[in-house]
Amino acid sequence: MTITPQQIETTLKQIVDPTTGKDYVTSKALRDIRIDHNQVLVEIELGYPARSVLENVRQQVAEALQAIPGVGQITVNVTSQIIAHSAQRGLKLIPGVKNIIAVASGKGGVGKSATAVNLALALAAEGAAVGILDADIYGPSQPQMLGVSGRPDSPDGKTIEPMRAHGIQMMSIGLLIDAETPMVWRGPMVTQALQQLLNDTLWHELDYLVIDLPPGTGDIQLTLAQKIPVTGAVIVTTPQDIALLDARKGLKMFEKVGIPILGIVENMGLHTCSQCGHTEPIFGTGGGDKMCRDYNVELLGTLPLDIKIREHTDAGTPSVVAEPEGQIAITYRTIARRVAAKVSDLAKDYSKVFTQIIMEDD
């Protein structure tokens, strides 16, 4: 019995990638089909880092192909390829950075910074080259959360080498000032400082740069959103009504400046008592789901109100590295793959494809 490429494609159209929610043909993950008599080789290329699920995808595809009559030996190769995607119109990408993911919240105290650092570490754990920029000039927390101290090096007195922690690159105003020095700056100075941190840091070939934005939706946040080439934004909230009110403002801010919303992360969804095991939704339920339905965005994941998340970040070893096989780390890695998959669906950046034309007077 002759096996055709059409049979292979038809089969692959019927199985769905759990991360993207799309079949491997529609998502253009299917790169090659080779048939030699009854032997079949299929190449799958995912647009997101997926180290922890590559084998699952390979098995899923192989099992589906085994159902085709006459198929003999099956070889499925699964790889990831992360490319640059375009940002807001008129903004050029940062050298050495393919994609920028902004992590924001409408208000403080919802676990935004813990989400940002664990998202960055989860993307790295899945195989991506990742950096994190602490954009909270008034209250930088990433040095503490990543256990980084000291001053970054400057090779030429103008640019800065990023610090390294747990396999990712990082930069923060907290590394350039004394820990107890208050930043009594007005908005324009804060904006300028952030742009300098972003542009003067020598980022080394990052697939993703996660930016931990300050809380709020004021003039500073809007200015930053207009001047930083952001690929997409993640909104962090808790289920309670007050937090959701502010989260909606943050979401609308990004919409106004043309930045895609990659999804919403709901923090502190459930709390389980460490003494009796009783579980209850201290901050309410269903808030993140309702917000996603209202704005047609994805709920990327829900995290519990767990003391370990706080303990891990306070100790400088966030949950993804402190307990990499724990349920919290698994949740963060699932969120990271979903975020990256949403990025892969966005418009690609073709700026490097076009030849630059320079006009000179005779």
State the CATH number of the domain containing residue 228.
Answer: 3.40.50.300
For residues 118 and 217, membership in a common domain is answered with yes
The Cα 148–Cα 140 span in angstroms is 12
- Asked if 221 and 285 sit in the same domain, the reply is yes
Rounded Cα–Cα distance for residues 251 and 245 (Å): 10
250 assigned to a ligand binding site: no
Q: 275 in a domain, yes or no? A: yes
User: What does the chain come to in residues?
Assistant: 362
**279 and 160 part of one domain:** yes
**Residue 53: CB partners within 8 Å, gap ≥ 6?**
18, 19, 337
112 assigned ligand-binding residue:
yes
DSSP state of 1: -
Structure tokens at 213: 């934005």
For residue 311, give the amino acid letter: E
92: number of Cβ within 10 Å: 9
Residue 284 annotated in ligand binding:
no
Q: Is 174 annotated as a binding residue?
A: no
Residues 6+ apart with CB under 8 A from 254: 102, 104, 225, 230, 233, 235, 260, 261
Torsion of CA 216, 217, 223, 225, to 10 degrees: 90
Same domain, residue pair 186 and 301: yes
146 & 269 share domain: yes
- Claim to verify: residue 70 and residue 107 sit in the same structural domain: no
Q: 164 to each of 127, 198, 259, 315, how far by Cα in Å?
A: 16, 16, 28, 16
269 is an annotated ligand-binding site residue: no
Report d(CA 44, CA 55) in Å as an integer. Answer: 12
Q: Are residues 172 and 273 part of one domain?
A: yes
For residues 245 and 333, state if they share a domain: yes
Question: Structural domain of residue 134, as residue ranges?
Answer: 97-344
- Statement to judge: residues 340 and 205 lie in one domain: yes
User: Which 3 state secondary structure label does DSSP give 205?
Assistant: coil
Same domain, 301 and 159: yes
CA dihedral (122, 125, 130, 132) positive or negative: positive
> Residue 249: inside a domain, yes or no?
yes
Q: Is 110 annotated as a binding residue?
A: yes
Q: Helix 287-295 and helix 241-256: axis angle, to 10°?
A: 30
Q: Classify residue 42: in a domain, yes or no.
A: yes
Question: Is residue 38 included in any domain, yes or no?
Answer: yes
Q: How many folded domains does the chain comprise? A: 2
CA pair distance 9, 190, nearest whole angstrom: 53
Q: Over its length of 362 residues, how does the chain's per-residue pLDDT go in tens digits?
A: 678 889 999 999 999 999 999 999 999 999 999 999 889 999 999 999 999 999 999 999 999 999 998 888 999 999 999 999 988 888 888 999 999 999 998 777 888 999 999 999 999 999 999 999 998 877 788 999 999 988 899 888 889 999 999 999 999 988 887 766 666 667 678 788 888 889 999 999 999 999 998 887 766 677 777 888 999 999 998 887 777 888 888 888 888 888 999 999 999 888 877 788 788 887 777 778 888 888 899 999 999 989 999 999 999 999 999 999 999 999 999 999 999 999 999 877 666 554 444 445 54
Q: Token match 């706080």: residue?
A: 310
Residue 361 lies in a domain: no
